[in-house]
Amino acid sequence: MTTKQLEYEWSETPPSIAIIEAIASLENCPSTELGPTHGIVLSETIDPEALDRLVTTSESMSVVFSVDKYDVKLTETMLLIRAT
């Protein structure tokens, strides 16, 4: 099982961008190829703008969801992505 855990300052990096970049890294491809080549599209699972607002405006939170074959967990400072 492949896992990637990263620390972020969400005011500097939008969570939606961090998720796409982390999944692209696990898929060994540029983030621009995730949708066309791998069929992984974040917006088919969750509203990226709403996610960014939630994470950047919450003081204490944890968000968990799946994108394609990846489980995603976000906290105040951490992104965890695990291949299922």
- Which of 57-78 are b and which e, b meaning 16 or more Cβ less than 10 Å from the residue's Cβ? eeeeeeeeeebbebebebbeee
What is the domain extent for residue 35?
3-83
Per-residue pLDDT of the chain (84 residues; tens, 9 = 90+): 699 999 999 999 999 999 999 999 999 999 999 998 899 999 999 999 999 999 988 889 999 999 999 999 999 999 999 999
Global pTM reads: 0.94
Question: For the chain, how many structural domains are there in total?
Answer: 1
Query: In the structure encoding, which two tokens stand for residue 39, read together?
Result: 């069929």
Give the pLDDT of residue 58. 85
